Amino acid sequence: MLSTSVIIPVFNAVEYLRVAVESAIHFGEVVEVLLVDDMSTDNSLEEIQELAKQYDKVRNIPNQQKRYASGCRNLAILQAKGDLIAFLDADDWYYPNRFKKDLDLFTSNSKVKITYSYSTINFPNGKTIPYGVQHDFSKTLNDNSTFWEEYHYSVKNDLVLGHVNANTVHMDVFKNGDFWDGRLKVHADTEFWWRLNRKYKFYASELAIPVSAARRHDHNTIYNKSVKTKTIMLLVWMDNIGIKNLYGFEKRAVIYHLARAISNPIKKHLLRKSVLHGFQWIANALRPVFIPVFYRWGMAKYKLYKE
């Protein structure tokens, strides 16, 4: 049986961490749960050390600098022993069916490098909403569709293929050099999945019932999202692909997401729609100039060039 390493970055999550860890360690296929403390200011590190003493599968990965979630995940990946890598946020949890269909897919088909499943978002008031695609989108295309056609379709339709807690990645992906981008504090998962979706087919796994839950609370990083953070994510994504390698539909996607980020804070519906569509119309009309100017301006402004 293929072995799985579960990676959990931890920052000020002492009140939730035990639930997350104990939702992962009981799986027979999970050989280790790797915890990386990101310089927490609460008692998270002490809780990590206690969990490592209590459970043989739990490993405390030492960290002496601020890395944010992406950097913590990369640090743990380099020390992981599993054939497969799964991620879990420290304030979330897995359901008992988390890996059942994943293992069948990875075992039966050597081409499978990434799977996606359906997750939920759970609110303090008890409300639960689904998150991610709940159907095998490749089946909406013809039976002979190519990987590139599927990628084009997912970008054009802005499909959410899973969740950081609900996607499983073969270690081969990381051996090929495809790691999380440490420049991103927010939207890192979006950039990572977009980038991998360009290189690897995402195979549909468990879409009937959720495999994980994301807990909403006042300290979620999702509340730090802004026009600036979305702009930085788009710039980093373009930088990782290579500005000269972008296809037309990818450039249109950049413009669409930038327009959405700019228009979303506008409260008046008509004005919001006008800005959303107007920005796209102008930027697409000037796309040969707009994309490289936006890229050079943003990379310099936010100091995103790699050293």
Model pLDDT for residues 167-210, shown as the tens digit of each residue: 999 999 999 999 999 999 999 999 999 999 999 999 999 999 99
Tens digits of per-residue pLDDT, 138-173?
887 766 678 888 899 899 989 888 899 999 999 999
Positive or negative: CA dihedral 205, 206, 207, 210: negative
Place of tokens 């890395």: 67
226: Cα separation from own chain's centroid: 17
Q: How many whole angstroms separate alpha carbon 165 and alpha carbon 91?
A: 11
Q: Is the pLDDT of residue 222 over 70?
A: no
What would the 3-class secondary structure string for 182-242 be? CCCCCCHHHHHHHHHHCCCCEEECCCCCCCEEEECCCCCHHHHCCHHHHHHHHHHHHHHHC
Residue 15, by phi and psi: left (phi above 0), alpha (psi -120 to 50) or beta? alpha
Instruction: Map out the domains of the chain with their CATH numbers.
Output: 4-218 (3.90.550.10), 227-301 (no CATH)
pLDDT (average), residues 39-52: 97
Categorize the per-residue pLDDT at 306 as very low, low, confident or very high, splitting at 50, 70 and 90: confident
Which residues pair with residue 33 across a beta bridge?
6, 58
pTM of structure? 0.94
Please give the span between the terminal C-alpha atoms of the chain, in angstroms, as a whole number. Answer: 41
Give per-residue pLDDT as tens, 230-288.
999 999 999 999 999 999 999 999 999 999 999 999 999 999 999 999 999 999 999 99
**Nearest to 171, CA basis, from 98, 106, 117:** 106
pLDDT for the residue numbered 189: 94
